[in-house]
């Protein structure tokens, strides 16, 4: 009897260990909204002021920072690995050069400025990953979107993975099935995926990401007037790869539910956007968000908290970086 109980205890312990090693959201338990209450009580107001300056100078800065957070959390958890430059001693090649990021991600200088303001207030205390989480929340709020309490206590990676950035981030040509799968791989639901895609209510995309869609190369229906307007700056051929268009043509710099109304009119800019409203499983949710801004705001805030809880694998060496661009 005693032998059975010892072996069952060993079994339960082994199961707990396995769960700890494989659990994707493990860090969630360690994060807390009060994490810096004693060590850096001013952090929230310092980040907010620095972001207010950046967004006042350029509203797109808010969108760019928000996207950085997504591209951070989806690659080995929210550990600010996306902010690392290529390592000078060639220990690693950074994520900035990965195909979803190259010539595309922006906002690094904004994060540097926020981090510098935080360092001036509390030296070597607040991680770049937490700075990015707070800055993203503030960006959304400053552009008119919802607010939420940010759980804190993330640490920064000492290395980055270009390979993981290339495989984990969905692209603009993705089908609905592959979008759902790439979020499911991070423990996020299809509903989270659709709500989070609502981030495309702000910001811009380059012609190279939507050329096919507006030049007759997309199987998903596209509003003809919308496509004709976009073709002026983004023709089927020519050197216009970098010309920009708003992801939400209705209200380009306002964090609202305009993006979903655009999708319902077949005015999604990216193929991956229109996939959310193309006769598939997310149509009803897109319609709901299009008609109910409060429902979108509430689901978006909850999904950001879940995405922000994605943790680096257990055992990853972590630290509080002083400069977000390089390990200490
Ligand atoms: C669902 C899968 C997603 C795909 C396929 C996708 C793809 C893209 C692409 C191709 C661009 C334009 C990049 C360029 O032309 O340089 C873009 C921009 C953007 N994305 Fe996403 N995205 C997705 C989800 C998200 C999520 C979850 C967020 C944030 C929560 C987000 C936030 C943004 C923002 C704010 C911009 C504009 C950035 C700027 O103006 O600098 N995206 N996205």
Give distance in angstroms: CA of 220 to centre of ligand 1: 19
Domains of the chain: 43-169+307-319 (1.10.520.10), 176-306 (1.10.420.10)
Closest atom of ligand 1 to 270 CA is: 10
pLDDT at 3 over 70: no
pLDDT tens per residue across span 102-154: 999 999 999 999 999 999 999 999 999 999 999 999 999 999 999 999 999 99
pLDDT at 90 over 90: no
Which residues are identified as catalytic?
71
Instruction: Extract the runs of DSSP E, i.e. beta strands, from 158-253.
Output: 204-206, 244-246
Give distance in angstroms: CA of 36 to centre of ligand 1: 30
The pLDDT of residue 100: 98
Closest atom of ligand 1 to 244 CA is: 15
pLDDT tens per residue across span 155-203: 999 999 999 999 999 999 999 999 999 999 999 999 999 999 999 999 9
Confidence at 27, pLDDT banded by 50, 70, 90 = very low
Confidence at 23, pLDDT banded by 50, 70, 90 = very low
- Residue 306's CB: how many other CB atoms inside 10 A? 18
The pLDDT of residue 239: 73
Tell me which of 109, 205, 230 to substitute to probe ligand 1's pocket, judged by most ligand atoms within 8 Å of the beta carbon. 205
Closest to 76 in 3D by CA, of 311, 326, 317, 314: 311
Residue nearest to atom 16 of ligand 1 (CA): 104
128 lines ligand 1 (CB under 6 A): no
**For the stretch 116-127, what's the b/e string if a residue is b when 16 or more beta carbons lie within 10 angstroms of its beta carbon?**
ebbbebeeeebb
The pLDDT of residue 269: 98
**Alpha-carbon gap, residue 225 to 326, rounded angstroms:** 47
174 lines ligand 1 (CB under 6 A): yes
171 lines ligand 1 (CB under 6 A): yes
Mean of pLDDT values over 61-65? 99
């Amino acid at each position: 009897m005693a032998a059975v109980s010892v072996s069952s205890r060993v079994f339960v312990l082994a199961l707990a260990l396995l769960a700890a090693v494989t659990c994707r959201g493990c860090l969630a338990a360690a994060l807390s909204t009060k994490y810096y209450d004693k060590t850096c009580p001013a952090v929230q107001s310092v980040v907010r002021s620095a972001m207010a300056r950046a967004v006042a100078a350029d509203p797109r800065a808010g969108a760019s920072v928000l996207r950085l957070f997504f591209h951070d959390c989806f690659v080995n958890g929210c550990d600010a690995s996306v902010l690392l430059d290529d390592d000078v001693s060639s220990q690693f090649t950074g994520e900035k050069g990965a195909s979803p990021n190259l010539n595309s991600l922006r906002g690094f200088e904004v994060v540097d400025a926020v981090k510098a303001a935080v360092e001036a207030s509390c030296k070597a205390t607040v991680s770049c990953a937490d700075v990015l989480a707070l800055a993203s929340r503030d960006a959304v709020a400053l552009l008119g979107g919802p607010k939420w309490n940010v759980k804190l206590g993330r640490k920064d990676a000492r290395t980055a993975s270009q390979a993981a950035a290339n495989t984990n981030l969905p692209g603009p040509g993705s089908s609905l099935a592959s979008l759902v799968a790439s979020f499911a791989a991070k423990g996020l639901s299809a509903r989270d995926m659709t709500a989070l895609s609502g981030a495309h209510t702000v910001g811009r995309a380059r012609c190279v990401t939507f050329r096919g869609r507006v030049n007759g190369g997309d199987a998903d229906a596209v509003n003809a007037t919308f496509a004709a307007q976009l073709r002026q700056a983004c023709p089927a051929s020519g050197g216009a790869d970098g010309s920009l268009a708003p992801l939400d043509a209705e209200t380009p710099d306002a964090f609202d539910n305009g993006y979903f109304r655009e999708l319902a009119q077949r005015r999604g800019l990216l193929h991956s956007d229109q996939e959310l409203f193309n006769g598939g499983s997310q149509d009803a949710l897109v319609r709901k968000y299009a008609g109910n801004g409060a429902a979108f705001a509430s689901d978006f805030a909850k999904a950001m908290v879940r995405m922000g809880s994605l943790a680096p694998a257990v055992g990853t060496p972590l630290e509080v970086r002083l400069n977000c661009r390089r390990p200490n």
